[in-house]
Amino acid sequence: MTQSITCKKVTSLLALYIDNKLDPRMQLFVKQHLEICPYCHKKYIMLKQLISELRNAYKDMIQDTAAEEKHRQFNIKEYEKFHTNLSAYFDNELPLNESVSMKKYMIKFPNARKDLEEMYNLHKIINSSLLCVKKTLNEDYSKTICYRVLGKNPDFKKQITLKIASFVGIIIMLATLITANIPIGKTVKEKSIKLFKKTIYVHSPINHELASDLMQ
Amino acid sequence: MHLVKRHHKNLSRDNLILLAQQDDYHALEELIKREQKNVYASFYYLDPNRQDIPDLTQEALFRMAKNIKKLRDPKKFQSWFNQIITNLFHDEMRKKYKKPQTLSIDADTSEQSNIVNITELRDKKKLPAESTLAGELNNKIISAIHTLPEPFRVAIVLRELQGLSYEEISNITQTSIGTIKSRIARARTKLQENLKPYLIQ
Ligand SMILES: [Zn+2]
C-alpha cells in the first residue's frame, strides 16, 4: 500500500522531474524511487520520449511557419497581379488562360473573392445612381430633334394645320375641276386626275403605299 | 397614325435604326425618345461643371439623327453614338478651357503617378433627391466620378454606364487597349477608396 502511494506521488511529479523543475530534495526522492521501481521507471521512459517527440514536433512547426511566412511574402507579388487583373476579369476582358488562373487564385485564397464582390458592389451602386440621374430628365426632345433634322419649323401644330388646310383645299379644287361639267379638254382633265393622285401621295402623312398604288 | 406609333414602341432598337435610315421619322422619334435619358446621363457624369447639359444632350441627339444613315451596322450603334457623345464632350471642354485638361494626365501613361483630384468643381448643382439616403449616396457617387481626371472619367463612363468593350473604348478614345485596361482599373480603385463605406456589406 505504501508502495502504491509513493508510486502515485512519483508519477504526478514525473513531468516536473524531466524538466528539472523540482527542488533538489524532491528531485533526489524521485530519482531514488525510479532506481528501485520498474513500474515507475517504465512510465518515466515513456513520458520522457513523448515529451521529446512533442518538443521536436513543435520545433518543426515553428520552422514551417517561418517558411510559410517567407512563402507568403513571395505571394504579395502574386496578389498584386491578381489585383491589377481583377478589373479586366470583372469586365470579361482577360484572355482565357489568365482568366483561369484568376479563378484558381480565388479558390486558393477565398479572401480574394471579397475584392471581386467589392467591385460588383461598386458596379451595382453606379448603376442605381445612373437610374436616378436618368429620371431627372423630364423633357422630351424627340419632336424638336426630328424637326431640326427635317429642317422644318419645330412648331408641330402649325405645321399640321397648314398641311391639312392645303391638302383639303387642293382636293376640293381638283375634284370640282374633274366632276363638274365644265367643258375642258380631255388632256386637261387627265392632267387634273394625275395631279389629284399626286397630291394625295405627297400630302398624305400615312398611306404612302395606297397612294403609290393610285399613282400607277 | 397612332397605330404606327404604337407599332414602333414594340420594335427593337436595331429595327428602329433600320427604319430611321429609310426616312421613317416616327422610328427616328422613337429612337430619340429611348436614347435621350441615356445621353443626358452620360453628360451628367462626364461634365463636372454640369453646365449646358440639356444643350449638349440635344446637340448629340441631333448629330445622331442627322447622321443615322452613315451608320452601316445597327449593332454598332452604341459604340458609334458614344463616339459622337465623347467627341462633343471633348469639343466642349476644349472650348471651355484654353489648355486641354488631358495633357498633364496623359503624360503619366507610365501609369505610375497617382490620380490627382480636380479640386474646383464650379457650379455644382445637386440632384433633387439629395435629402434622402439614396440621394445622398447618389451625390457621393456622382462627385466621386467627377473627381476622376478626364481620361479616367471618360473610360469609366464608357465602361460602367455605357457597357462598351475595351476595344470599342480604345477606338473611341484613340488609346491602346492596355492603357484603357489600366485606366479602368485605376478609376475603379479610386472610386472604391472614395466610396468604401457603401461597398462593404
Ligand atoms: Zn513506483
Q: For the domain with range B123-196, which CATH number is right: 3.90.700.10, 3.40.50.1110, 1.10.10.10, 3.30.420.80?
A: 1.10.10.10
Cβ B36–A142 below 8 Å, yes or no? yes
Whole-angstrom distance, CA of residue A32 vs CA of residue B130? 87
User: How many contacts does A have with B, using Cβ atoms within 8 A?
Assistant: 113
**Cβ contact, residue pair A118, B184, below 8 Å:** no
What digits encode the pLDDT tens for the residues A106-119? 988 888 899 999 99
Contacting residues of B for A117, CB less than 8 Å apart: 201
Identify the CA nearest to B185 among candidates A86, A14, A206.
A86
Q: Which three cell numbers stand for residue A69?
A: 511566412
Interface contact A130-B161, CB threshold 8 A: yes
**pLDDT higher than threshold 70 for residue B100:** no
Tell me the pLDDT tens digit for each residue of B109-134: 444 334 443 333 433 445 554 456 67
Nearest CB neighbour to B40, from listed A118, A137, A142:
A137
Question: Closest Cα to residue A99, out of A110, A87, A109?
Answer: A87
The C-alpha atoms of residue A145 and residue A150 are separated, in whole angstroms, by: 9
- DSSP secondary structure string for all residues of B125-149: ---GGGGSHHHHHHHHHHHHHHTS-
Provide the shortest C-alpha distance from residue A136 to chain B (in Å): 8
Please answer yes or no on whether B128 and A136 come within 8 Å at the CB atom: yes
Q: For the segment B82-98, what is each residue's pLDDT rounded down to a tens digit?
A: 999 999 999 888 887 65
Q: Which amino acid is at B119?
A: T
* CA-based torsion, B83, B88, B92, B98: positive or negative: positive
Q: Where are the domains of chain B?
A: 1-34, 123-196
For chain A, give every domain's residue range. Answer: 37-135, 155-215
Alpha-carbon distance of B199 to A141, in angstroms, equals: 36
> Cell 489600366 appears where?
B182
- Give the whole-angstrom CA distance, residue A141 versus residue B28: 12
Chain A residues close to B66, C-beta within 8 Å? 149
Which pTM was predicted?
0.62
| Contacts (Cβ under 8 Å, ≥6 apart) of B1 | A205, A206
pLDDT tens for A9-35 read: 999 999 999 999 999 999 999 999 999
Which of A121, A125, A159, A164 to mutate to test binding with chain B, by most B CBs within 10 Å of its CB? A125
Q: What is the ipTM of this complex?
A: 0.81
CB atoms within 10 A of CB A41: 14
Give me the tens of pLDDT residue by residue for chain A, a chain 216 residues long: 456 788 999 999 999 999 999 999 999 999 999 999 999 999 999 999 999 999 999 998 888 888 777 666 657 888 888 988 999 999 999 999 999 999 999 988 888 899 999 999 999 999 999 999 999 898 999 998 988 888 754 444 555 666 677 777 777 877 777 776 666 566 666 776 777 666 655 555 444 444 444 443
